[in-house]
Structure 1
Amino acid sequence: MSAQISPLQLQGFEQLPKHARRCVFWEVDPATLPDDHHLADPEFEKEAWLSMVMLEWGSCGQVAQPVRSGEDPLSPPMPDDEAPCLGYAFYAPPRAVPRAGLFPSGPVSADAVLLTSIGVEAGTEGETLTRGLVAAVVADLVRRGVRALEAFGRTPEAAELADPRAVDPELRPVVRALGDCSTDQCVVEADFLTDVGFVVVSPHRYFPRLRLELEQGLGWKAGVEAALERLLENAQLAQPVGAGAAR
């Protein structure tokens, strides 16, 4: 299945996968919730957060959607606006991400934007699509003059934190779940981040903070796009619009 990656529009919220619509792990401070950490309407909270960030800062998501064939074979493919998305990536200034302030490997650098979450649907070319989503995030931030992209990564050792009652008090706010949101599915794997060019700038046994300098990201982005082109015949994954243009 061919796919096109483009910035998330608020009117496309309903096309996001269920978990992406309901996940507020990064967007809501768990300290502001009742003891049961229950949200009456997580989808409303997520949509409200997206609306706020888009209004105050601009695009904060990239989505991959199936491509519909045009009548003109020479025209570029267009995403199918009615189809569910195949993958997504969210990012925002750290001041808009309450959970970011709870990680012991923080704070996020003042010149960086925070990559919070990435997800792809089952049955897709997972690694290829995930790399393409990161490339689209990088391309967007380079156009906007952002100097770096940072992320909190999850190491394999983080599996030791499955029982929150046995977690060190410093980490309890980090691993506190919100509904079906938890670190094991809402924090990007550190190994993936290093594979695509991030480097650890604040080590931590469970949740290191990693950084991608966007000057270096331009070279990395070009390399990812070249790999996507080589995989195009098999994966039939289209490049992000404009991502290969020189800046």
Structure 2
Amino acid sequence: MSRRLVNITLDNLSDLPPACRNCVYWELDPVAGQRACDAGDTALEKEAWLSDTLLEWGSCGLLVYLDGVSAGYVLYAPAAYVPRSVAFPTSPVSPDAALLMTARLMPEFRGQGLGRMLLQGVAREIVRRGVRAIEAFGRVGGQDPDASDAADLSCLLPADYLLAVGFKTIRPHPRTPRLRLDVKTTVTWKEDVEYALDRLLASMQTPVLSR
């Protein structure tokens, strides 16, 4: 089987799952995001965000292909490039950390080491930038379809998975704690991140989808 890891660019953005391709949950603040949804401009807004982030910061996402088929992806960036990050009660993200926005492996491709491939790439990119940690806003508890924030919380990674793979809670909250995986040294941090996020992606029982 042929495996290939590439940076997410405007040319391959369409290879993200449709729900994720048209999602601007992280890329816009809540008001602008709702406005884009109402206008049907989410795809254009996502392209604009990706273009700006690539130009100003560099690679902010990776796609993995198996035999030419898109099998999974991950998005990450400093909080300054992620407007939604300031909307959480546990914000702000620490200035020395990159925010793990979202990650997903398609169900049919799990258990084949593709999560490790994705995070090896993330580790290389982040270490090269001198970033000291990864932080994430976790989701606590199951999805309640009647909850007012159900759609929003579906865009967050489960906090219990993050904790299980080495993240530590640095700002507790009953629904959206902020968690952190510290950089101890370049080498050990890279190994920790590869192991932690590979386990995170591989252990998901339901897809991580953006709305």
* Higher share of residues assigned strand: 2
1:21 aligns with 2:21: yes
Structure 2 counterpart of 1:62: 62
- State whether residues 7 and 63 of structure 1, in contact with CA within 8 Å, keep that contact through their aligned partners in structure 2: yes
Cα distance in 2 for residues equivalent to 1:33 and 1:224:
31
CA 1:126/1:95 → structure 2, altered by over 3 Å: closer, same or farther?
farther
The letter for the 2-side match of 1:187 is L
What pairs up with 1:72-91 in 2 under 5 angstroms? 83-91=68-76
The letter for the 2-side match of 1:163 is A
- TM-score, normalised to structure 1's length? 0.69
Structure 1 counterpart of 2:204: none
Greater Rg by CA: 1
- Residues 127-174 of structure 1: per-residue CA shift (max 9 Å, x gap): 8434543343222101221111111111125x357421xxxxxxxxxx
By how many angstroms is 1:2 displaced?
Answer: 4.9
1:217 aligns with 2:189: yes
By how many angstroms is 1:14 displaced?
Answer: 1.9
Structure 1 counterpart of 2:90: 105
CA 1:130/1:155 → structure 2, altered by over 3 Å: closer, same or farther?
farther
CA 1:199/1:105 → structure 2, altered by over 3 Å: closer, same or farther?
same
The letter for the 2-side match of 1:114 is L
Structure 2 counterpart of 1:201: 170
2:6 aligned counterpart, secondary structure: strand
CA 1:134/1:205 → structure 2, altered by over 3 Å: closer, same or farther?
farther
The letter for the 1-side match of 2:192 is W
Cα distance in 2 for residues equivalent to 1:37 and 1:226:
32
The letter for the 2-side match of 1:107 is P
- State whether residues 65 and 87 of structure 1, in contact with CA within 8 Å, keep that contact through their aligned partners in structure 2: yes
Match of 2:79 among 77, 94, 112: 94
What percentage of aligned pairs have identical amino acids?
39
- TM-score, normalised to structure 2's length? 0.80
- Residues 41-60 of structure 1: per-residue CA shift (max 9 Å, x gap): 21111111101100111000
By how many angstroms is 1:188 displaced?
Answer: 1.0
Name stretches of at least 5 consecutive residues in structure 1 with no aligned partner. 68-82, 165-174, 228-247
CA 1:33/1:15 → structure 2, altered by over 3 Å: closer, same or farther?
closer
Match of 2:153 among 183, 205, 225: 183
Structure 1 counterpart of 2:44: 44
Match of 2:118 among 126, 129, 133: 133
